[in-house]
Amino acid sequence: MTSIPSHATSLSLVQPVSIDARRAFELLSEVGAEWLGEQASSVRPGTRRYLSDLSFPVRERAPQLTFKKAAYVELGEVRATPAGCVAEISWQSSSLAPLFPVFAGHLTIGPTELKLEGWYAPPGGGIGAALDRAFLNIAARGTARWFLDRAARALASASAGGA
């Protein structure tokens, strides 16, 4: 059993969608997933790694302000479920300047929703975790919301565009 660091925080977000879950399974199972970014060499067997630009839009205070960070997004094997599919997913900074949280969890896809569940660790260890708690997880949740929105648009567009 993998232990979870003390500064890791659980994250669970849901994005309503209307997609063909079977087509989404096929799309996520394919080798290329352009919406995730440029494919990179994977470091873990059974995963596909993409170099992506993760974003954290600052919505309330400055809607035009968005922080971006180059990151590796890893997608594990996609498994069929009765309602759709699920895959392990993780992301981390692609550089030694980890300005975005490290995330590991699952992306669950059904015909009416995408769900992202897992754990993230803010940059900066214990100090970063204290700041994260003080600011209500704004960066981690904002990045995850942005990612779910991007996934929803890509999968809905692809499932509507071809079967």
Burial class (CB in 10 A: 0-12, 13-18, 19+), 31: exposed
The whole-model pTM stands at: 0.80
Q: How confident is the model at residue 116 (pLDDT cuts 50, 70, 90)?
A: very high
Q: Which of 31-35, 112-116, 119-123 has the lowest mean pLDDT?
A: 31-35
Fold (CATH) for 14-161: Alpha-D-Glucose-1,6-Bisphosphate; Chain A, domain 4 (3.30.530)
- For residues 68-73, give the mean pLDDT: 82
Q: Where are the domains of the chain?
A: 14-161
Q: Is the pLDDT of residue 87 over 80?
A: yes
Q: How confident is the model at residue 21 (pLDDT cuts 50, 70, 90)?
A: confident
| Residue 128 three-state SS | helix
Closest CA to 57 of 145, 137, 122: 145
Give the C-alpha separation, 121 to 140, whole Å. 9
Give the C-alpha separation, 154 to 150, whole Å. 6
